Structure 1
Amino acid sequence: MSEVVQKDKALAALMEDAERIYTLISSQKQHLCLAQCPAFEEVVDTQMYGFSREIAYASKIGIVSEDEGHRILSDLEKTLNDVYTEMYDEKKEQI
């Protein structure tokens, strides 16, 4: 029973980290800094790399399956891409 609870807690922690990255991107959208700030891009890349390592570790120790890990990363990447696309479209309309 405690193994199931621990897996649930670990998965919840992973999802919190994914949400933190999404929030980071979304908050920068307000400042229109996404495309013009190479430093911010570095932060995003670093955060995503770190998160991918968390997922890989969780997969190795059996917290998530490899497929589930790929799905979590893919979902986050798609969500982030949607934010970038939305920001680009808004900026394009302003021109």
Structure 2
Amino acid sequence: MSIELLRLKMAVSAMKCPICTRQCAPGKEFCEEHSKAYKSMLLRANLWIKSFGNDMTLEEACAHVFYLESHSRAFNDVIRYFAKKNKWTMIRWPKVLKKGS
């Protein structure tokens, strides 16, 4: 395979959302739907962090958001993506936050 073809394939794959493989806007990491969910995740997580006096990690804040608030499927996808990417584990998240317990 030529280097030019390999670069082209890498550029095309880099323009796909890592969650759903839909096309991303130039310079964006996610598709439009998951970009909106990502912004919402950061906003909600920051609200939790501020409410706990900045004594909470992003992982803990996302656990609160994920388990205690209602949100879209795209939002769930984004949190799961970041949990996998950053090796967050549900086990380490507060057990009281698990749905159904």
Common fold, TM-score beyond 0.5?
no
- Please give the range of the TM-score, normalised by the shorter of the 2 chains: 0.3 to 0.5
TM-score where L is the length of structure 1: 0.35
TM-score where L is the length of structure 2: 0.34
